[in-house]
Chains A and B, each alone.
Chain A
């Protein structure tokens, strides 16, 4: 057990950039706790704000600057109050104004908005960002922006109601686009690591997948927003893993698990 603890400490040390060389940028310039070099191409943004995720685990994040969306990805919240977000160095170096990160709780509906903003924008950047988002028609970005403005009180109630009216129109366009999206895009929109982690867990073996296959309910699946395309995507992924000799004895069990989900969804 002691040995495991040592190994874990080494990994946690890595995760916080302790073994990865120089500090590339310091907090005040970017409004972030620290930006640490992890490779020739990526930086890790270490946030230490009041993370309020419902549980430790995978979170989806988006990075914005004054001109809008910079990057997105998934990160693991190692402990309450801190997180690491990977960001391509060229994006950070070319960012305008004050970049900030929004974290989304993977265990809640993303439409409820972000759960944390690691750096709040200044008033001057609000107008420019708002105009760019309206022009882009990107619902996810607009939704995040509205939540941010509500939380920080940087827009009036009238302004927010005007944004929401525009958002409804944009959502109709988005819904039509989703209906013709590819299966992979649908998976990224509604599934991905968060859904996978919630359903089956990570770092667990064959027996857990079999147990979950026996116990999973339709209500659970629907709560996780796992649709038929999502379930088929994962089932097919594990079938390919089995065919390619990957995943040991865990992959076949996960094929069964997702086939059970597909059956429950009537597929």
Chain B
């Protein structure tokens, strides 16, 4: 079962940097875009968010099976 962990909306006019931890993956949400983070595992992860120098970092446990979607389009998967 898919579990939607959180939804990120970049309301700024410039790309928003998102670090997906603990993988150390650097992604960018384009202006105006909405991303959804899905965990395929059961029970799902509990994400933590930190504000970094250039954007945000989202942390889940390494066991998470994370998938990031923009609409129906897969942006990244662990």
List chain A positions with a Cβ less than 8 A from chain B. Answer: 3-4, 6-12, 14-15, 19, 38-39, 41-42, 57-58, 73-76, 78, 86, 88, 184, 192-193, 196-197, 202-205, 209, 234, 237-238, 241, 246-248, 250-251, 253-254
Contacts and interface: CB of A to CB of B under 8 A. Distances in A.
Nearest to A38: B6
Contacts of B44: 41-42
Interface of B: 3-4, 6-14, 16, 19, 21-26, 43-44, 46, 48-57, 59, 61-63, 78
A218 B6 CA distance: 38
Contacts of A8: 51, 56
B21 A203 contact: yes
B22 A203 contact: no
B68 to A, nearest CB: 12
Contacts of A78: 51
B46 A73 contact: yes
B71 to A, nearest CB: 18
B55 A57 contact: no
A251 B13 contact: no
Closest 8 interchain pairs by CB? A203-B57, A250-B24, A203-B52, A3-B12, A203-B19, A7-B12, A73-B46, A76-B48
B28 to A, nearest CB: 11
A192 B46 CA distance: 13
B24 A6 contact: no
B23 A251 contact: yes
B78 A246 contact: yes
A58 B55 CA distance: 17
Nearest to A10: B11
Classify the interface of chain A: helix, strand, loop or mixed: helix
A79 to B, nearest CB: 10
A3 B32 CA distance: 12
A15 B49 contact: yes
A205 B16 contact: no
A266 to B, nearest CB: 24
A241 B61 contact: no
11 contacts: A3-B14, A7-B12, A7-B56, A73-B46, A202-B50, A203-B19, A205-B26, A237-B22, A248-B24, A250-B26, A251-B24
A116 B23 CA distance: 30
A247 B23 contact: yes
B8 A246 contact: no
Which of B9, B22, B57 neighbours the largest number of chain A CB atoms within 10 Å of its CB? B22
B14 A11 contact: no
Contacts of A254: 24
Contact of A247 (B11, B24, B56): B24
Contacts of B12: 3-4, 6-7, 10
A8 to B, nearest CB: 6
B48 A7 contact: no
A209 B26 CA distance: 14
B48 A196 contact: no
A84 to B, nearest CB: 9
Nearest to A244: B78
Nearest to B54: A4
Contacts of A196: 21-22
Contact of A7 (B6, B16, B59): B16
